A and B are shown apart, each in its own frame.
Chain A
């Protein structure tokens, strides 16, 4: 439903997540490399490689973000989170050199979101990570904005495939603004239309009948 009346909960800004945002929930599903600092009794079944009944100290595992955030404590008793590859020194120099070259969709579709959440884990490289995230966004923003405002009525898949989710949302809103303006110029703004819900439902009904 992409009408004006359906306003889904948007993802949170910066280091905060929105509890009810579906985008944030999907983001929190991304896996991070973790080193366990204290033993977890009776949860051995979570670690597929070992057969013990408990998870001993020092095990390296991959846990999803929601679990890591929930278990992490500042006093460092429980977990230590390593930065994923994309946020480390090597990739940071690539981003600083030229942010436009990188395929952010492949580097984890939630580059900015996950990067902002990583700042919760008190790694010593946090200021550099934050700086890189910001600079990458600034570097790529101009191109995204330009392409979204100038690609009218064409196939935009080549433009969009290298963008991460945040940039895709920006691109979509740019496109809808452009389409709205062009529609207004053509005089389509005063034309009453059927609701998109009805149109979608009719399309679906046709395919049902054909089966």
Chain B
């Protein structure tokens, strides 16, 4: 790096033969910049996919691996997505992260894969989600939990 600076000074003094070396070092710097930018961009693409795959609250261990700027980017992406969703459906809002596969029925049969505690559905009944218990629940409440791996969709 310092050799690069030194040569740059020499160039401004008019010694044209050092130009190839300067050019070579510049290529190396550009290459490093390209690799770093592509890596960081790929991380952002994966974080964006997390919002769609996992939901708006990330588990603590995933957040542990993200740097502060990435966490900030994620919360801003969440906000943009939320305001976009609110603007759809004639002012009422439409949750486009639901129903990723076309729904066939309103209620689905699910089996619990691990203990998740109590779960309240719209009409007020509370269901205890214990491992291996099976329930018949409304689709829109379960979709998030199925994607997170807590419940399993049982096809008859």
Contact = CB atoms under 8 A, between A and B. Distances in A.
Interface of A: 1, 3, 5-9, 19-22, 25, 38-43, 66-67, 70-71, 78, 187-199, 201-202
Given A1-B49, A9-B41, A188-B155, 6 more contacts: A5-B51, A6-B46, A6-B49, A22-B38, A193-B147, A197-B50
Interface in B139-154: 142-143, 146-149, 152-153
Contacts of A22: 38, 42
Contacts of A196: 53
15 contacts: A3-B53, A5-B53, A20-B38, A22-B38, A41-B21, A42-B7, A66-B31, A71-B23, A71-B27, A188-B155, A189-B101, A191-B155, A193-B146, A198-B149, A202-B149
Contacts of B108: 192
A190 B46 contact: no
A67 B61 CA distance: 39
Contacts of A1: 46, 49
B101 A192 contact: yes
A41 B17 contact: yes
A40 B153 CA distance: 66
B24 A21 contact: no
B148 A198 contact: yes
Contact of A70 (B23, B62, B102): B23
Nearest to A43: B21
Nearest to A42: B21
A74 B115 CA distance: 68
B23 to A, nearest CB: 6
A70 B38 CA distance: 18
Candidate in B34, B48, B62, B142 with the most chain A CB atoms within 10 angstroms:
B34
A40 to B, nearest CB: 5
Contact of A19 (B38, B45, B46, B50): B38
Interface residues of B, number: 44
Contacts of A202: 149
B53 A197 contact: yes
Contact of A66 (B21, B27, B102): B27
Given A38-B20, A71-B27, A191-B153, A7 B148 contact: no
B27 A42 contact: no
A8 B42 contact: yes
A8 B46 CA distance: 8
A190 B104 contact: yes
B18 interface: yes
A7 B49 CA distance: 8
Contacts of A190: 101-104, 155
A8 B140 CA distance: 29
B21 A40 contact: yes
A194 B31 contact: no
B35 interface: yes
Interface in B16-57: 17-18, 20-21, 23-24, 26-28, 30-31, 34-35, 37-38, 41-42, 45-46, 48-54
A40 B20 contact: yes
